[in-house]
Copies of this chain bind each other. A is one copy, B any other.
Amino acid sequence: MTEKRATPKLPKPGVPVRGSKSGQPIMVLFDLIGRRWSMGVLWNLSDGNRTFRDLQERCGSASPSVLNTRLKELRAAGLIYNADNGYALTEDGRQLFDRLEPLGDWAMDWVEKLR
């Protein structure tokens, strides 16, 4: 970096999430879903209820303890709930998934391009 280093103006206040003061919504969300298997769980619940074991199988190396932690977090966040036959997306969870879904198609192109 050989240029002058003027600190750019921040149009958006930068925000730490975890140990910090101002919880910018997107960062709060990233802090929740930016953990192992969080998005994978949402993804795998999108086409129907899944039991704990289902989710374990679909989230390959997720150990039961971690999976359980993720499920509790997502439930506390109101994104999933305990249905009779397993876990399911809430309304909010469905809405979030709808915004996650476009990543699927993009990921296919991207992975293919990497090879």
Q: Which residues of A contact B (CB under 8 A)?
A: 1-3, 5, 7-8, 10-12, 14-23, 25-30, 33-40, 43-44, 47-51, 53-54, 57-62, 77-78, 84-86, 92, 95-96, 99-100, 102-104, 106-108, 110-114
Contacts and interface: CB of A to CB of B under 8 A. Distances in A.
A95 B106 CA distance: 8
B8 A61 contact: no
Nearest to A55: B14
Nearest to A7: B54
Given A36-B35, A92-B110, A99-B103, A61 B20 contact: yes
- In the A-B complex, the 8 residue pairs with the closest CB atoms: A16-B60, A14-B58, A21-B60, A25-B107, A19-B61, A29-B107, A25-B111, A20-B60
